[in-house]
Amino acid sequence: MPIQKTGDSLDIEKLKSSVISQIDTRHELSELALRIHSNPELGFHETKASTWLTQYLEENGFSVERGICELPTAFRASYGKGKPVIAILAEYDALPELGHACGHNLICTAAVAAAVASKLVADQFAGTVSVIGTPAEELYAGKAIMVNRGAFNNLDIAMMVHPGTHDTATTRALACQSLEVEFFGKSAHAAARPEAGINALEAMLQSFAAINSLRQHIKSTARIHGIITDGGEAANVVPAHSAGSFIVRAEDDTYLDELKQKVINCFVGAATASGARLEYKWADVRYAPMYNNPALAQLFAQNMQHLGRQVQLASQGQSFGSTDMGNVSQLVPGIQPIVAIAPPEVLSHSPQFASAAASEAGIKGLFDAAKALAMTVVDLIANPEIITRVQEEFRQGK
Ligand SMILES: [Zn+2]
Ligand SMILES: [Zn+2]
């Protein structure tokens, strides 16, 4: 029967050693990570991955709810009782064409490995360890949808690890929203009657020119990028329709809102100049910026250092994208550390990164990440005062 008590430092060191040796014996974890790697599934279609992960958790004593938040490939698996509730988040979606080029096969395997190893501490102290399976990180911000549907409401802490090229205890991630744009013009013979046409492609090209001009005068951390998905049918027909997909990113929500309006002004200006009619739609979900919890990051870094990895608290470079973990981190104190699985020149979302996610360094990264996550769970469950500090920092930083 679990009891509420605080561990002394000797107990804690012993528990951490047990967690490490237990993860080391679980050879099935590398097999699971490689099996998910060789069966890549796109967002919301991660049927095999979610089945294999939930089976593994069930076999290891977790109670599993599948299809939570009305998302068939989302799940929650829990072990233990009462507070605190510590969640480890699992991503398992792949990228079109590239497969597991973001290494999510390692994220989900590290999550289940860490959770199963953390049973030791949940048995000894009061508390619950959960794995929350979060589909469709890459394309549809699955966690943003799950935030809206209440999946993270009763948590005290949410953690996950992402593979990358540097060991870092925090992630910088921008607020981000995508936009679909269409221009409607009028087709005409491009040589015989050009004066009768309204050129929807030119409206799109002018929009790109206006956005490129705007880019000179935005904050250096903001990003605007897009593609043309329809630019007309034939060179001798004035294009009556054009379409494009764009993404706008900024370091905070306020600046994102400001930038969104400026970007729309570029399209409105191009519509006025060309005479084409503009229609646009912002994506329903938006990625929130990552709100890293310093106390959690510190704990994780110490545990990684214990495993012989040199961990920076924050990334030194200017390289950052967006993640739906940002949305969770705005609601619950959280971290998303990065574990290195490839040298710095390997780019995420590349075929080389996909190979790294199935390499020896990838598997080593998975095992170290799982150990450090489980060791952090030990710190948190055995020391309720640390959780209090984490939560105070979370409130103060808001
Ligand atoms: Zn990615
Ligand atoms: Zn990713």
In tens, the pLDDT along 30-71 reads 999 999 999 999 999 999 999 999 999 999 999 999 999 999
pLDDT at 226: 97
Identify the band that residue 184 occupies on the pLDDT scale cut at 50, 70 and 90.
Answer: very high
Per-residue pLDDT at 317 exceeds 80: no
pLDDT at 319: 64
- Token couple for 146: 């799950």
Average pLDDT across the chain, whole number: 95
Amino acid at the residue 318? Q
Query: Can you tell me which residue has the tokens 């005068």?
Result: 217
CA of 245 to the centre of ligand 1 (A): 18
CA of 236 to the centre of ligand 2 (A): 43
Per-residue pLDDT at 3 exceeds 60: no
Residues ≥6 apart with Cβ < 8 Å to 302: none
pLDDT at 7: 61
CA of 134 to the centre of ligand 1 (A): 14
pLDDT (mean) for 307-333: 89
Q: Percentage of the chain with pLDDT > 70? A: 97
- Pairwise CA distance, residues 108 & 111, whole Å: 5
pLDDT at 11: 85
pLDDT (mean) for 261-268: 98
What does the chain come to in residues?
398
CA of 207 to the centre of ligand 2 (A): 30
pLDDT (mean) for 18-24: 96
pLDDT at 6: 58
pLDDT (mean) for 317-334: 89
CA of 196 to the centre of ligand 1 (A): 45
CA of 342 to the centre of ligand 2 (A): 14
CA of 142 to the centre of ligand 1 (A): 13
The predicted-structure confidence for 265-307, as pLDDT tens digits, reads as follows: 999 999 999 999 999 999 999 999 999 999 999 999 999 999 9
pLDDT at 258: 98
Which residue has better confidence, 17 or 321? Answer: 17
Identify the band that residue 2 occupies on the pLDDT scale cut at 50, 70 and 90.
Answer: very low
CA of 203 to the centre of ligand 1 (A): 31
pLDDT at 10: 67
The predicted-structure confidence for 87-118, as pLDDT tens digits, reads as follows: 999 999 999 999 999 999 999 999 999 999 99
pLDDT at 372: 98
pLDDT at 1: 42
CA of 358 to the centre of ligand 2 (A): 15
Query: Can you tell me which residue has the tokens 């705005």?
Result: 330
Q: Which ligand is nearest to the CA of 336?
A: 2
pLDDT (mean) for 335-344: 96
- Cα separations (Å) of 102 from 137, 162, 209, 288? 10, 8, 32, 19
CA of 100 to the centre of ligand 1 (A): 9
Identify the band that residue 5 occupies on the pLDDT scale cut at 50, 70 and 90.
Answer: low
CA of 47 to the centre of ligand 1 (A): 19
Identify the band that residue 4 occupies on the pLDDT scale cut at 50, 70 and 90.
Answer: very low
